[in-house]
């Protein structure tokens, strides 16, 4: 689709005087498909990032209910391929973009259903807010999905999902679809229609975990050398994540360093073959904010999506603020200040802590030397 | 600006049956700002990149004339800051984006004019098609600009331009404005109103060249360690580029390797402190296609902008083909096949060779492991 | 100590004719402290590495007995600092060098004893063949040592050892002392005479494990960013190592890849912040050779020290071959072929497997692009 | 050759009491090839590096004369392969080691002579103090050698030398022979007996320079991608080095940064494909000390060899000090303080500057995180 250039000479302090000569110039620009910087600089080159995306929260109850409703009437299969329902940021034109670079969706699989095998260059992960019973089969390796598990799946890996139980299951998908859409990097390939019997197995641990899931150890075998662009470890289990967070808070209580700030523990999911981010374009972390703690406001270039994994609290994003509870999702656009407070009493967890899962596009910013952050004390 | 979600149930092979239940579901999605994958997957996850951008050529004569016209009536200074006129790809909504990630503009400075000092996180370079007489002052270092020179300027470096002669001068600007606009990474800061006398000097070589412009040598001094995210060398002179291209073709004629393919020499501008690309987000190269040679078609993820530096020829981009000559600019969108042929006789150069300057977003794709290319023989 | 040059003209096929002129030349060389290449090239530039070190085995029973004997009569403390008794390769001039680059020793601590705090640039680790009861205190963090544990300690980290029990304990020390001695890189600093009460604690897990010992997870806190040149994880527990080896053999039995070769599982101890070797100059691995399996012979540049952790077997190193059992140590010099066979029945373990701990100087060779290996099939 | 362990119980403050039990223990150690740390720690683990090597100077006149004498009576060819005469540091046992890791030699080729083709894993370079007329042929590419040129040759590259003139020529060889000897990494392979006619050509510029010798530019061709472990650029010409040094001093005179310290310019020879050191194990630099300048004392881990390229001066190394002039070579052992002073008037150069070529093992120390330096002001 071809779009013309349309320029309008306006009378404004920073603009050239509106004269017939200027109008004539602008008509020439339009004819030749040109746009002058002086009409655009305010939008294109702001003093600091002013995101098109807006702070917004999506409620788990609504998401879950609509996903279940879709489960009843929309088939999974070729065409849509997945029963995935994406967050559409209200500032991004009604497109299924949670932020300018990130896709976040709820995916829903009915008992006995299979999402067919395919692969794509978009990097992806699953994160489980509740439930269990689905195995995601990545390059032939069945990986159980259970509450609290984080399951990365690097670009161009074959994958299918199969619900081996009698209950439906929902989970969160994160992908870099908007980023690859904007940069126009995407490839997609459909796979086989049916999985093999071996792929329909429902082991407790995946083969990837058996090879790569031992702390500080890597297999020496050449066969195990990762050939994908992301982590060879396909599941990060909640038991490990939970223990790591509890350890940090316990160290703090004993007087040692370990937390990110007082009362705020945080771990990052990493590629054990490199120690770096789990996926080339996405960072994923789990944060725990102890009962009664409020984090210091911070802002960063790049955007994040948060999911409340456990507990309740109140979060502030830019000029917005919401009470949130399990399963709620919200976005933090580029350079918007963010802070969170746990709310004991409201929480239905024993600890009163607020557990937040977060993913962001930080690896893009770091790789290209565009990452900036403003430390809490310097925010006004 | 908030935009609603609008979903339309359509009767199509890959879509769910249009029923009242589906309509009800879609109204629920709209209410909760959700978009299902199944209505979007064809656009978001294509089999291979299908660029929104279109192959297009801009003619130097028109560009040059409109820039001169702007020189007469549009002031340089605060507000627009620069008299820069950008290519607006006809597929990109009338925005000043040559491709989804790259900005290309002609900038024009009248005799005695100064473009005021500022800095921004957007990475930039200048490339000179014709003329001379402007010095770009980068972090206080005046750098002469002459035909054939390539002048990178990494993000967040202070810079101003000053025309020290009695004639106007035009040149090509390349920046990653669209990429940083889409990822929302941009910072901008205005600088001083006036340059110092030392900065108004017009030396033949910049201080950067005197420190970093010696082949295979780097200064040992800590002072010279680069603190910017890109190349510390601020000018790549045409004499060097020209000789490197001539050397490759001479080696080929003597029976040795060196050219990219028969009759096609190419050099890449690199950061001498790392050997890598000259800027974190942009690759820049000069290509020389010998008289009577046609390059093999190739396609790549990511987009490029080409400028004809010398000679004449015919270029093919996707399903388009144009005769081009000195100063013409054209774009190659992601995954569109590209080839070029020199046209002896039409050329006004002695050699009959076609010299093409090219810049692209390849470093983004390589850093994030998204780069793919299809070698000539495998294109159908 | 100054040493003169001594040259002897010899009559040999590759040497210059012995004449008065040559004798006169050689006297000139000696006077000016010069040595010609032609008398030395055979030794200095061999066709492939011919190690000065020799294949040799040290028996655990003898080592253990002599260490206990030393425990009775040699104090731990300033001066020697440690009750460490090093392997002296018979080819290396009676010096305490297991190989030209590696130090291996048995260290022995009596009940209630403390090895005083110090630090040095030499990288080190402990590996426990038997027993428990000592805590090594690294930068103030007490780390329990038990059978099968691997405990790295990067250069310039403060460390002391304290035996908190009523029994003596022995373990294996590995350091790069010979490498740093030859390259002359060493610094040493004595520390405090006494540890604090907090440092005398005997926790089950170290603080390092609580921060860094969770598979695929890293702490986000800046405080936890490693500032030492090696792994921030101070203990690799046997339970994890054992499970990782068992997992590889089980995967093989199920028909999947994972082992290094049939019946031969192997894991490498890695720095979780980088995925690379646990120490800048030393690689450490654990190998398990299944009952009745013989590994294919392989040779590599660089040298290794092996310790039999469990089981019995027969190992071949160059032209040597020995039966080995728990605790025996042996060396594989550069480019000497190595293979190992488990010996079921002789073994006192249930499984009949042979477990070999190995450390080597491979990171030096890899970092400097000097690593070579010859794959099994190509060895004659 | 097997060497026994010999231990002597001595009565000393830091040693165990000499008793029959100790003597018995030591006999046990000897029998089992063991050496205790407590007798060795002072030598093996010093407070800071105390080099076995000694500061020493070799005089060019003597070197040159002896090399010429060897030219008359010692053939070049199989066996010795090269007429190379190496510096033997007086502290290193009469071996041809300038420092514990570095080899430095004068090589001498008579008119019409050829040093036969071979290759080896040892990294090497040539540096020309005086004369010209020899071409070194590296992987078939003839490279002219002239005064001031630096010519690296990475490990495992085929190379031969041929004197195409009627006069003998001498130059300096630098290799990592001692380092590879100590680590036992060396491979060697003899090549063809005769070079082809094309390889006997005597071009002004090598093919390597034509591909890689343009400042900030690299060939795009895959063919030109370096496959050796060091720099693909085979000659760094004096004209470039000289100009880079002059530029730094001129910048300083104009009030800008650029020199290493006042009056002291320095450039490092780098691999243009990486910006790093020209060879994996050796750093090479050229320093210019302006007339009347004395450098601040500095010390570093690792050792260096210096050659006076031009001018005269006085250098201090540890507790030694010498007047030096063109062609003199001297060594700076690990952690010995070094400074240099130019001596105007004595110099036969117009400028009165002292030009020092230097090579060192710094890349080994940096890659393995063993590099330390003490800045001038902190030396007592």
Mind listing the pLDDT tens digit for each residue in D203-212? 999 999 999 9
Q: pLDDT tens, D3-43?
A: 899 999 999 988 999 999 999 999 999 999 999 999 999 99
Q: Are D100 and D182 in contact (CB under 8 A)?
A: yes
Q: Is the confidence at residue A349, as pLDDT, over 50? A: yes
Nearest to A217 among C211, C268, C287 (CB): C268
Mean pLDDT of C30-34: 97
Residue B181 to residue B187: CA distance in whole angstroms = 10
> C321 touching D, CB under 8 A?
no
Sequence-ordered list of residues with C-beta below 8 angstroms from that of C374, at least 6 positions apart, any chain: C298, C299, C300
Residue B304 to residue B324: CA distance in whole angstroms = 16
Mean pLDDT of A260-285: 97
Residues from chain D contacting residue C85 (CB–CB below 8 Å): 29, 34-37
Q: What proportion of chain D, given as a percentage, has pLDDT over 70?
A: 94
Q: Tokens at residue B348, please?
A: 């006004």
Q: Are B145 and B136 in contact (CB under 8 A)?
A: yes
Q: pLDDT tens, C286-325?
A: 999 999 999 999 999 999 999 999 999 999 999 999 999 9
Q: Are A363 and A102 in contact (CB under 8 A)?
A: no
Mean pLDDT of A42-57: 96
Q: How far is B68 from chain A (nearest CA, A)?
A: 10
Q: Is the confidence at residue A194, as pLDDT, over 60? A: yes
Q: How confident is the model at residue D377 (pLDDT cuts 50, 70, 90)?
A: low
User: Higher model confidence: residue C194 or residue A269?
Assistant: A269
Mean pLDDT of D320-325: 97
Residues 187-246 of D with CB under 8 A from B: 207, 210-224, 231, 233, 236, 240-241, 243-244
Residues from chain B contacting residue D356 (CB–CB below 8 Å): none
Q: What is the pLDDT of residue D197?
A: 92
Q: What DSSP string runs through A149-207? A: -EEEE-TT--EEEEE-SSS-EEEEEEE-HHHHHHHT---EEE--SS--TGGG---SS-H
Q: Are C33 and D94 in contact (CB under 8 A)?
A: no
**What is the crossing angle of helices C60-73 and D20-31, to 10°?**
160
Residue A356 to residue D16: CA distance in whole angstroms = 60
pTM of the complete model: 0.96
Q: Tokens at residue D239, please?
A: 């004209």
Unique residue bearing structure tokens 């490339």: B127
Q: Is the confidence at residue A177, as pLDDT, over 90? A: yes
What count of CB pairs under 8 Å joins A to B? 311
Total length of chain B:
380
Q: Is the confidence at residue A347, as pLDDT, over 50? A: no
Q: pLDDT tens, D93-125?
A: 999 999 999 999 999 999 999 999 999 999 999
Q: What is the pLDDT of residue A223?
A: 53
Mean pLDDT of A47-70: 97
Q: What is the pLDDT of residue A2?
A: 82
For Cα atoms A178, A181, A186, give the angle at the middle one, nearest 5 degrees.
120
Q: How confident is the model at residue B342 (pLDDT cuts 50, 70, 90)?
A: very high
- For CA atoms A8, A13, A14, A19, give the dihedral sign: positive
Residue A305 to residue B145: CA distance in whole angstroms = 45
Q: Are C298 and C287 in contact (CB under 8 A)?
A: no
Q: What is the pLDDT of residue C380?
A: 45
Q: pLDDT tens, B349-358?
A: 568 999 999 9
Q: What is the pLDDT of residue B347?
A: 46
Quick count: other Cβ atoms within 10 Å of Cβ B226?
A: 17
CA distance between the termini of chain D = 45
Q: Tokens at residue B55, please?
A: 């192959």
| Preferred mutation among D44, D75, D77 to probe C, highest tally of C CBs within 10 A | D44
Residue B270 to residue A1: CA distance in whole angstroms = 36
In angstroms, what CA-CA distances link D99 with B319, D28, D96?
Answer: 65, 36, 9
Q: How far is A322 from chain B (nearest CA, A)?
A: 16
> A258 touching B, CB under 8 A?
no
Unique residue bearing structure tokens 């070079």: D195
Q: What is the pLDDT of residue B376?
A: 57
Q: Is the confidence at residue A60, as pLDDT, over 90? A: yes
Burial-class residue A95 by CB neighbours within 10 Å (0-12, 13-18, 19+): middle
Q: pLDDT tens, B107-150?
A: 999 999 999 999 999 999 999 999 999 999 999 999 999 999 99
ipTM value > 0.90: yes
Q: Are C54 and D2 in contact (CB under 8 A)?
A: yes
Q: What is the pLDDT of residue B351?
A: 81
Strands of the D188-190 sheet, one edge to the other = D141-146, D132-138, D159-163, D114-120, D188-190
Q: Is the confidence at residue D306, as pLDDT, over 90? A: yes
Q: What is the pLDDT of residue B205?
A: 97
Q: What is the pLDDT of residue B377?
A: 58
Q: Are C188 and C118 in contact (CB under 8 A)?
A: yes
Closest CA to B229 of A371, A170, C273: A371
Q: What is the pLDDT of residue C78?
A: 64
Q: What is the pLDDT of residue A200?
A: 92
Q: What is the pLDDT of residue D107?
A: 96
Residues from chain A contacting residue C357 (CB–CB below 8 Å): none
In angstroms, what CA-CA distances link D188 with B60, B310, D89, D231?
Answer: 59, 50, 25, 20
User: Phi then psi for D299, rounded to 5 degrees?
Assistant: -135, 155
Q: How far is B129 from chain D (nearest CA, A)?
A: 19
Unique residue bearing structure tokens 């404005």: B177
Q: How far is A26 from chain B (nearest CA, A)?
A: 9
Nearest to B4 among A78, A85, A94 (CB): A94
Q: What proportion of chain A, given as a percentage, has pLDDT over 70?
A: 94
Q: What DSSP string runs through A59-100? A: -HHHHHHHHHHHHHH---STTT-S-EEEE--TTTTTSS-SSS
Closest CA to D316 of D335, D341, D333, D334: D341
Q: What is the pLDDT of residue D14?
A: 87
Q: What DSSP string runs through D277-307? A: BSSSS-EEEEEEE-TT-BPPPBEESS-EEEE
Residues 22-41 of B with CB under 8 A from A: 22, 24-25, 28-29, 32-41
Q: Tokens at residue B90, please?
A: 């006809």
For chain C, how many helices (H) and strands (E)? 7, 23
Q: Is the confidence at residue B346, as pLDDT, over 80? A: no
Q: What is the pLDDT of residue A378?
A: 57
Q: pLDDT tens, A295-328?
A: 999 999 999 999 999 999 999 999 999 999 999 9
For chain D, how many helices (H) and strands (E)? 7, 23
In angstroms, what CA-CA distances link B79 with A330, B187, C260, D162?
Answer: 36, 16, 65, 66
């Amino acid at each position: 689709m071809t779009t013309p250039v349309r320029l309008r000479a306006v009378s404004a302090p920073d603009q050239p005087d509106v004269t017939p000569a200027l109008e004539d110039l602008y008509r020439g620009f339009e004819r030749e498909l040109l746009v002058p910087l002086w009409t655009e600089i305010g939008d294109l080159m702001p003093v600091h990032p002013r995101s098109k995306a807006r702070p917004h929260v999506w409620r788990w109850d609504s998401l879950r209910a609509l996903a279940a409703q879709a489960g009843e009437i929309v088939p999974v299969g070729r065409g849509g391929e997945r029963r995935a329902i994406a967050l559409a940021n209200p500032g991004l034109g009604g497109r299924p973009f949670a932020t300018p670079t990130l896709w976040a969706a709820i995916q829903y699989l009915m008992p006995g259903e299979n999402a067919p095998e395919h692969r794509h260059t978009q990097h992806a992960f699953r994160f489980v807010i509740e439930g269990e019973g689905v195995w995601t089969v990545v390059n032939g390796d069945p990986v159980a999905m259970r509450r609290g598990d984080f399951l990365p799946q690097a670009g161009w890996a074959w994958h299918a999902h199969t619900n081996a139980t009698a209950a439906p299951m929902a989970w969160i998908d994160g992908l870099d679809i908007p980023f690859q859409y904007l940069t126009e990097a995407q490839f997609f390939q459909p796979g086989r229609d049916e999985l093999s019997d071996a792929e329909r197995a429902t082991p407790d641990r995946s083969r990837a975990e058996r090879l790569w899931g031992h702390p500080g150890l890597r297999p020496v075998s050449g066969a195990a050398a990762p050939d994908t662009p992301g982590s060879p470890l396909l599941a990060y289990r909640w038991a490990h994540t939970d223990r790591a967070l509890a350890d940090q808070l316990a160290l703090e209580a004993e007087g040692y360093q370990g937390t990110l700030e007082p009362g705020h523990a945080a771990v990052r999911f990493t590629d054990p073959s490199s120690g770096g981010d789990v996926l080339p374009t996405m960072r994923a972390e789990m944060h725990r904010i102890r009962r009664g703690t409020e984090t210091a406001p911070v802002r960063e270039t790049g955007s994040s999506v948060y999911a409340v994994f456990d507990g309740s609290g109140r979060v502030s994003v830019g000029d917005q603020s919401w009470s949130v509870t399990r399963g709620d999702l919200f976005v933090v656009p580029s350079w918007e200040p963010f802070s969170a407070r746990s709310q004991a009493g409201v929480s239905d967890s024993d600890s009163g802590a607020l557990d937040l899962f977060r993913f962001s596009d930080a690896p893009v910013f770091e790789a290209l030397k565009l990452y900036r952050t403003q430390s809490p004390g310097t925010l006004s």
